[in-house]
Amino acid sequence: MSQDCSIEQAIDLLLARIDGPIHLGLPLGLGKPNHWVNALYARMRQLPQRQLTIYTALCLSRPPLGDGLQARFLEPFVDRVFADYPELDFLADLHADRLPANVRVEQFFLQPGSLLDCAPAQQDYISSNYSHAARDLNAKGLNVIAQLVAVDAERPQHLSLSCNPDITLDLLPLLDARRVAGEAIVTIAQVHEALPYMAGDAELPRERFDVLLCEPDGSRLFSTPNMPVNLQDHCIGLHASTLVRDGGTLQIGIGSMGDALTAALLARDTENADYRATLKTLRGSEENAPLDGLGGLAPFEQGLYGCSEMFVNGLLVLADAGIVRRAVYPDEQLQAWANSGALDAEGRPRSVQALLDGAAGEGLQIETLQALGVLDQRVRVAQGQVQLPNGQWLDADLGRPQTQAALAPWLTSAPGGAVLHGGFFLGPQSFYGRLRELPAAQRARFAMTGIRFINELYGQESLKRLQRRDARFINTAFTMTLLGAGVADQLEDGRVLSGVGGQYNFVAQGHALDDARSILLLRSWRANKGQVSSNIVWDYGHVTIARHLRDIVVTEYGIADLRGKTDAQVIEALLAISDSRFQPQLIEQARQAGKLPRDFRLAPRFSENLPARLEQVQRAHPQRFAAFPLGCDFDQTEQALLDALAWLKAHARPRQALKLLRALCQPASTTASAAHLARLDLAAPRCWRTHLQRHLVRSALQASGQLSRES
């Protein structure tokens, strides 16, 4: 029986039940009960004799405001989007390296890039596959779980793990075993009023938690606003969309490249002629499109099944568009019927004969159909005869045409159909709102479950293989070596950007599943402080995905199929999708290492892999390159300012000083920029610095094409 407590009462109870060190597990991302965690942290600061270790991942915080124009732009936006979201107090102290001696924080995934220069976070980072997190945390003596949950007035005896069943579902059986052995274990839940109620595996009896906080959280859920999708990302998304096979399985991650892929899949399905025309211009020739057989260019007639550790906004957008709609079922026979076409899109059998044709092993019986949920439970069997709910009697032999015809009206849709399995979710506010407004039956088709089910094949492997046909596991990297190793989590000096998460799991599945492919998305080049460098390099001091797991790599310049290729073939394939500014150096490095012959020459058509060529594609098909294809949290004024500030950032460098000076010397618009200046609180400058900022903004708005000088 769960006990209702206030926040402070729950802390008192915890300190009384756990008489030694407290090993607290908090969910990854959204599901942390921040108010309670902050209260516990404050109490532990006053109890230096008690030890607290927090095990978690992806501690979310508002983006730093920076200074100058960036701060003027971000502060009102951050206040609007994040509102009263309660920051984690221990996270601020972690950043400042002022955690008390009795408190420690260990994470297996960091908010990307946020803790690069935080020594305690870097030292206490746990490099662990997402699917192994429950095992590793249990081994550390985890004795407390605290988590946000959702409620449904129509299900008063239950709670939903909502955004985070991922590790909790895998941990609970391990903790139960230790509880039976006599260890003190405490599980704590706090209701958040804005969390959508996810049913299925995510739904647990209330008594599964020892403590239920009686103070529901009504603050703003943390959100990840849709950010701009640039030209590089759009081109990457277009190429990758051709690899997705109709009727298959899709996994994608968060970020602008995932949004670009989503936008391209939408265009493929709903604006196919324009989609094909854009691809033709982007590719330049059919010689650059050798992999269409792996996926397709046609609209989706069968639809896709989503299997992704993170249920991202893009997958919900694809579901709303009717692209993510291929249902899978929690039983091998049901899934075999679905794969063979014996079940329609709603899970209803097309006929008794279709079920017989797709049955495994011995012939089907009436009782089997009822046990699987595809025949009305009111149908009765007695002495070789079947009685229908309308009173009609008939022969129980399912092979008889008369029996099949009479049973047809009593066939029912298979239960448990899901169009997506996800372990956790995180997204913009519109994503949470859309989930909340869905009818319960439709929301239940998004099946939130334990991370091991999604990220691993072992455990129900036969069922997973049936479900995950033609899988495309699509993830991102920030660097690739020319021999095919991927880098996604850590810099070569050892500092962790984020974490391996589930990337390795999906790459491994891409190799283990029949007809599956692992696809890594990569921007071929990057700019930093005015310097441009290649993201495809000869070598790197760290790898996330070893080169023996190389498969498909996509950049804005095309697709490289690396599976089963020799080293020289891999190098040539990656050179073909690298930026031409860096090809000569890369070729020479490969020659020096003896991995390319001295007379190697890259095909001439790949010498035009330059941003200018992509800009030509954008000018020819501007409708395919929207900055915010999945919606936007910025208003029109803010969108214009984003472009202007990006222009300033790109040109406020020593090499670009002359161009910047010329822009500043141009007469600036005095009327059309009024709204933009007001948004940055620069309408009435108060000092020389704000006068300069005002002119910078006006000039940048003009130079970036947001204003005309005539206005």
Whole-angstrom Cα distance, residue 37 to residue 17?
17
Domain(s) of CATH 3.40.1080.10: residues in the chain:
3-217
Closest CA to 242 of 274, 281, 290: 290
CA dihedral (355, 360, 365, 367) positive or negative: negative
Closest CA to 106 of 130, 122, 117, 87: 122
Closest CA to 147 of 27, 283, 278: 27
In order of 258, 332, 380, the CA distances from 357 in angstroms are 40, 15, 23
Specify the 3-state DSSP secondary structure of 546: coil
The half-sphere exposure of 51 on its side-chain side, counting CA atoms within 13 A, is 8
Residue 699 banded pLDDT, cuts 50, 70, 90: confident
Q: Torsion-angle region of residue 461: left (phi > 0), alpha (psi -120 to 50) or beta?
A: alpha
Got the DSSP string for 582-611?
THHHHHHHHHHTTSS-TT----GGGGG-SH
| Lowest-confidence region among 262-266, 300-304, 390-394 | 390-394
- The rounded mean pLDDT for the chain is 93
Quick: pLDDT tens for 360-405: 756 789 999 999 999 999 999 988 899 999 999 999 999 999 999 9
pLDDT higher than threshold 90 for residue 273: yes
Domain(s) of CATH 3.40.1080.20: residues in the chain:
231-326+420-486+495-614
Whole-angstrom Cα distance, residue 631 to residue 224?
12
Non-local CB neighbours of 442 within 8 Å, separated by 6+ positions: none
- The residue that leads in pLDDT, 706 or 545, is 545
Quick: pLDDT tens for 224-246: 999 899 999 999 999 999 999 99
- Ramachandran angles phi, psi of 225, nearest 5°: -60, 145
The continuous run of DSSP H or E covering 180 comes out as: helix 168-180
Average pLDDT over residues 307-335: 97
Asked if 260 and 241 touch (Cβ cutoff 8 Å), the reply is no
CA dihedral (225, 315, 476, 576) positive or negative: negative
- The residue that leads in pLDDT, 655 or 298, is 298
Asked if 95 and 122 touch (Cβ cutoff 8 Å), the reply is no
99-129 residues labelled b (16+ CB within 10 A) or e (exposed): beebbbbbbbbbbbebbeebebbeebbbebb
Quick: pLDDT tens for 576-613: 999 999 999 999 999 999 999 999 999 999 999 999 99
How confident is the model at residue 79, as a pLDDT? Answer: 92
Non-local CB neighbours of 700 within 8 Å, separated by 6+ positions: 644, 645, 647, 648, 663
Closest CA to 484 of 365, 574, 391, 585: 574
Closest CA to 540 of 595, 596, 486: 486
| C-beta neighbour count of 527 within 10 angstroms | 11
Here the tokens at position 700 are 């940048």
619, with CB counted inside 10 A (0-12, 13-18, 19+), is: exposed
pLDDT higher than threshold 60 for residue 299: yes
No. of helices (H) and no. of strands (E), the chain: 27, 25
Whole-angstrom Cα distance, residue 121 to residue 114?
10
- pTM comes to 0.93
CATH number belonging to domain 231-326+420-486+495-614:
3.40.1080.20
Task: Answer yes or no: CATH 2.60.40.10 is held by domain 3-217.
Answer: no
pLDDT higher than threshold 60 for residue 708: no
Tokens 């049973």 appear where? 407
- Ramachandran angles phi, psi of 526, nearest 5°: -145, 160
